[in-house]
Amino acid sequence: MDPAVFEAINLNVAAPVITESLLRRIRSCEEYNFTDRMLAIMRSEFGGHAVKTEKEEAA
């Protein structure tokens, strides 16, 4: 888990953006969702985060 999440919990501070991004990441790994796949592609383009293809996931 992201250290920022732990810090927000320790400080008892709401972190809705971090929470939502974590939930979307988990959900995108569990099911096919067009919106989440588009966000993953944008993260890949802007941040260099790898996007797994269906072939890579099956291997």
pLDDT 10s digits, 7-49: 888 888 888 888 888 787 777 677 667 877 787 788 877 776 6
Domain that holds residue 26: 3-58
pTM of the model as a whole: 0.39
Mean pLDDT computed over 50-55: 65
Residue type, 1: M
If one counts the domains in the chain, the total is: 1
Secondary structure of the chain in the HEC alphabet? CCHHHHHHHHCCCCCHHHHHHHHHHHHHHHCCCHHHHHHHHHHHHHHCCCCCCHHHHHC
Residue 54 has pLDDT above 70, yes or no: no
